[in-house]
Amino acid sequence: MTRRGRFAPTPSGLFHMGNAFSALAAWLQMRQIGGQLLLRIEDIDKPRSRPAFAEQQMQDLRWLGLDWDEGPDIGGPHAPYEQSKREDLYEKALNELVKKELLYPCFCSRAELASIGSAPHGLSSEGGAYPGFCSQLTETEQAVRRISKEPALRFRMPHRQWTFCDAFAGEHDFSGKALGDFVVKRADGMFSYQLAVVVDDAAMGITDVLRGRDLLDSTPRQLALYEALGLTAPSFAHVPLIGDASGERLSKRDKSLTLASLREDGASPQRLIGLIGCLAGWLDRAEPVTAHELLPHFTTDVTKDRMLAITPDMLDWVRGKSICDD
């Protein structure tokens, strides 16, 4: 069976080094084994997504020397490759979950969830566990609440252990109860990332999911959805995040560390790839290399760290501002 990986960016901002790391690793993993790689634009959150960012992200990937076998720009057997055009598939999966009685309407507002510490926070992909306020409402109680409020739909996360072996992050064991029930369709009608990504990865024949470590705790939730929908789950690999010298994760808001601004400051793709290769442990020292040159060095058997820090010196080197190590 041909192994298939994907890179699935959300077009809500410019790429930074962390995005370059995940994209490069997904490319290396598939190219090293002769697998196929596809690019999927995760623009399901329409107000946050911009076609201009998707365009820029594709240009950044090309600048890095990465290519893909299927994607929004080149088409392929699983088109469309934009989530905003795949909502009928998510609706179908949602109906299946409804039929299996695995969902319930949730009327809690964001403010209510925030007040009990269940609002999304930085280090988890879903925020704190939902305490289950709406999980036991009777049909009459639901009907009364529906008069004044459109509900979100929550998936009943099975209360058992979810264990998987992550190619980068190692063995992981999550408690379904501690993760809590999660939203699959928001009150405003938007399908959740968790549902869309499972439906798409399954429909597109993805065998290997490689992405950033911030999504590690999404994996047990997605495993539960694969099981509920009777789909085969892929294997998972979560690469470390890239942080600044103070240990803060880079975000799309850090303008100076976007690929676009590094490029403007004189960075070459070879230096950027060399630095990532060195941080990941694929190279002994940072030296300018192309993605192709890094291929023989790629392995998942490297650092288990959750975050790798880049220092100002390293960035100067990427920008070509220092002569050492050349």
The kind and range of the H/E element at 152 are strand 152-155
Torsion of CA 266, 272, 278, 279, to 10 degrees: 100
4 in a known ligand binding site: no
Nearer to ligand GLU, 104 or 193 (CB): 193
Q: Are 102 and 135 in contact (CB under 8 A)?
A: no
Question: How near is the Cβ of 40 to ligand GLU at its closest, in Å?
Answer: 8
> What is the rounded CA–CA span in Å between residue 307 and residue 168?
12
Own/partner contacts of 275-278, CB < 8 Å, gap of 24 or more, are: 275/310, 275/314, 275/317, 275/318, 276/17, 276/20, 276/21, 276/24
165 in a known ligand binding site: no
* 255 in active site: no
Question: How near is the Cβ of 302 to ligand GLU at its closest, in Å?
Answer: 20
Nearer to ligand GLU, 5 or 288 (CB): 5
Q: Which residues bind ligand GLU (CB under 6 A)?
A: 8-10, 42, 197, 211, 215
8 in a known ligand binding site: yes
Torsion of CA 197, 203, 204, 210, to 10 degrees: 30
131 in a known ligand binding site: no
Nearer to ligand GLU, 9 or 269 (CB): 9
216: left (phi over 0), alpha (psi -120 to 50) or beta: alpha
Q: Are 92 and 140 in contact (CB under 8 A)?
A: no
Nearer to ligand GLU, 115 or 251 (CB): 251
9 in a known ligand binding site: yes
What DSSP character marks residue 287? -
> Is cis: bond before 80, omega within 30 of 0?
yes
Question: How near is the Cβ of 193 to ligand GLU at its closest, in Å?
Answer: 7
> What is the rounded CA–CA span in Å between residue 64 and residue 271?
10
Question: How near is the Cβ of 25 to ligand GLU at its closest, in Å?
Answer: 11
Nearer to ligand GLU, 157 or 239 (CB): 239
Question: How near is the Cβ of 286 to ligand GLU at its closest, in Å?
Answer: 26
- Which residue is catalytic, options 99, 252, 304, 321? 252
Write out the catalytic residue numbers.
252
- Residues annotated within the binding site for Zn(2+) are 106, 108, 130, 134
- Residues annotated within the binding site are 6-10, 42, 106, 108, 130, 134, 193, 211, 252
- Residues annotated within the binding site for L-glutamate are 6-10, 42, 193, 211
